[in-house]
Amino acid sequence: MRLALWGLVSSILLFTLAVCSIALVPAGIGVLTTPHAVRAVRAYANRRRLYAMEWSGVSIPVPYRPVPERGGLVGQAERCAALLKDKATWRDLLWLLADMTAGFVLAILPPVFFLYFPWGIVLACGVWKPIVDAGGNEWFAFIHITGQTSANLAACLGAVFAGLGVLTAPRLLRANAVLARQFLHPDHERELELRVRRLTETREDAVDHSAAELRRIERDLHDGAQARLVAMGMSLGTIEALVEKDPARAKRLLAAARADSAEALTELRDLVRGIHPPVLAERGLGDAVRALALRMPLPVEVTVDLPGRAPEPVESAAYFAVSEVLTNAVKHARATRIRVDLHHTEGMLRALVSDDGHGGADASRGTGLPGIERRLGAFDGLLAISSPAGGPTLVTIGIPCALAASAAG
């Protein structure tokens, strides 16, 4: 119901505003108002792209070209011209028309079906009588209400409609998202352009990330395990010299060396876990995320529906993406409970991470979420965030891949 009413009102208002602004371009006024109107249309379209991904798993790439940022009237005219030349602007307007008509019908059908049920109950409880006595001609769908029997039939039909509404709601919601994708998806030329740009960016990010990871591993080895192993070597040399002269002191040094070896082993295991967790290689993504959840300082509920194993690079990318999102929720969201849902549908590995924190997550701030986007970008993956102020926060991670059905996830 919220999508239907909000979508209808928003689409009508934004379409009217944009069309009127464009119509006033020859008069000069539209040059000033059109960029603002188109910006509002694009913000609304991006919000619907996010909902399509979160609610139905329908991915709709953003096709918009960069807009000139010069100031003054000349810059305003350049922005207006660039927006009017962009095919995505006109596709957005066509989508608004479709959304206020066919999209509204698809969104309103489930709540309308469901609302038939209470009205049928009300009629069956006796409300039919004053309506009929007053000369009313009441119809409940295709049933003409003339007495208690027809009112009872209306209540039964209302129950059928309610069940139909519950069953069809996910399909109709997805149909609404697919309808939006037909208009909001980039055309073939723009899609190829975005693809080339994304591949260029992800290649550069992959090179930078690999170099940074090598530096981190080298630093951790030098400052951690290597330093402890050097200290152990010196201690063993001292023990060798004292073993006969001062056995008691040699024994104490030997105990200290044993403790250092245990700490060095722990540090090496942590380092290996940071590169590629052993449980991920041995048991798969589902068990690796469950093990990760157990180490969190607050309750994390994990649901896994993976009929097979994804390729190792994809599992690694998904694992570290989920790990970063969980870390953010613990550090910044003040959450008390987190839920992780892993599943694979329509050729896409999806991880949904939700928390009951205060919200406000923004991918444009900090390094964590942009880092996830860069890691996922190497696999054409997607990151969608819904985090209104006050919460809750829902992060959707999607990576296209096929599962190996022979292995358990």
Is residue 116 packed enough to be buried (19+ CB in 10 Å), middle (13-18) or exposed (0-12)? buried
More confidently predicted of 404 and 40: 40
Same structural domain for residues 170 and 269? no
Residue 195 domain flag: no
Boundaries of domain holding 287: 280-400
From 76, 98, 158, 165, select the one nearest 122 (Cα to Cα). Answer: 158
Residue 192 domain flag: no
Residue range 176-195: mean pLDDT, rounded: 79
Q: Which of the four pLDDT bands, split at 50, 70 and 90, describes residue 407?
A: very low
Same structural domain for residues 230 and 349? no
Q: Which of the four pLDDT bands, split at 50, 70 and 90, describes residue 214?
A: low
Which residue reads 């049920």 in tokens?
A: 117
Mean pLDDT of the chain: 81
Same structural domain for residues 311 and 373? yes
Same structural domain for residues 342 and 391? yes
Side chain identity at residue 351, one-letter code: A
Task: Give the residues across from 304 on adjacent strands.
Answer: 342
CATH number at residue 234: 1.20.5
Residue 409 domain flag: no
Q: Model pTM greater than 0.85?
A: no
| Percentage of residues in the chain having pLDDT higher than 70 | 84
Residue 194 domain flag: no
Domain boundary among 275, 305, 324: 275
Question: Would you say residue 289 has pLDDT above 80?
Answer: yes
Same structural domain for residues 290 and 262? no
How far apart are alpha carbons 162 and 140 in whole angstroms? 14
More confidently predicted of 144 and 45: 45
CATH number at residue 351: 3.30.565.10
Same structural domain for residues 288 and 307? yes
What is the predicted pLDDT for the residue at 275? 56
Q: Which of the four pLDDT bands, split at 50, 70 and 90, describes residue 204?
A: low
Residue 286 domain flag: yes
What is the predicted pLDDT for the residue at 101? 92
Handedness of CA 98, 100, 101, 106 (dihedral sign): positive
Q: How many domains, the chain?
A: 3
Same structural domain for residues 27 and 5? yes
Same structural domain for residues 95 and 13? yes
Q: By the 8 A CB rule, do 382 and 374 touch?
A: no
What is the predicted pLDDT for the residue at 263? 73
Residue 179 domain flag: yes
How far apart are alpha carbons 303 and 342 in whole angstroms? 6
Q: What is the pLDDT of residues 150-165, one digit of tens each?
A: 888 888 988 888 888 8
What is the predicted pLDDT for the residue at 41? 93
Question: Would you say residue 62 has pLDDT above 90?
Answer: no
Q: Which of the four pLDDT bands, split at 50, 70 and 90, describes residue 5?
A: confident
Same structural domain for residues 31 and 147? yes
- Cis check: omega of the bond before 63, within 30 degrees of 0: no
H/E/C letters for each residue in the chain?
CHHHHHHHHHHHHHHHHHHHHHHCCCCCHHHHHHHHHHHHHHHHHHHHHHHHHHHHCCCCCCCCCCCCCCCHHHHHHHHHHHHHHCHHHHHHHHHHHHHHHHHHHHHHHHHHHHHHHHHHHHHHHHHHHHHHHCCCCCEECCEECCCHHHHHHHHHHHHHHHHHHHHHHHHHHHHHHHHHHHHHCCCHHHHHHHHHHHHHHHHHHHHHHHHHHHHHHHHHHHHHHHHHHHHHHHHHHHHHHHCCCCHHHHHHHHHHHHHHHHHHHHHHHHHHHHHCCHHHHHHCHHHHHHHHHHCCCCCEEEEEECCCECCHHHHHHHHHHHHHHHHHHHHHCCCCCEEEEEEEECCEEEEEEEECCCCCCCCCCCCHHHHHHHHHHCCCCEEEEECCCCCCEEEEEEEECCCECCCCC
Domain boundary among 231, 248, 275: 275
Residue 191 domain flag: no
Tokens of 200: 């260029």
Same structural domain for residues 285 and 261? no
Q: Which of the four pLDDT bands, split at 50, 70 and 90, describes residue 406?
A: very low
Same structural domain for residues 238 and 378? no
Q: By the 8 A CB rule, do 140 and 158 touch?
A: yes
Ranking 25-34, 94-103, 276-285 by mean pLDDT, the lowest is 276-285
Q: Which of the four pLDDT bands, split at 50, 70 and 90, describes residue 168?
A: confident
How far apart are alpha carbons 289 and 338 in whole angstroms? 13
Same structural domain for residues 305 and 233? no
Tokens of 262: 């245990």
Ranking 127-136, 227-236, 314-323, 389-398 by mean pLDDT, the lowest is 227-236
Which of the listed ranges 191-195, 312-316, 360-364 does the model predict with the highest average pLDDT? 312-316
Helix 29-56 and helix 2-23: axis angle, to 10°? Answer: 160
Q: Which of the four pLDDT bands, split at 50, 70 and 90, describes residue 23?
A: very high
Ranking 173-187, 211-225, 331-345 by mean pLDDT, the lowest is 211-225
More confidently predicted of 283 and 210: 283
Question: Would you say residue 409 has pLDDT above 50?
Answer: no
Residue 407 domain flag: no
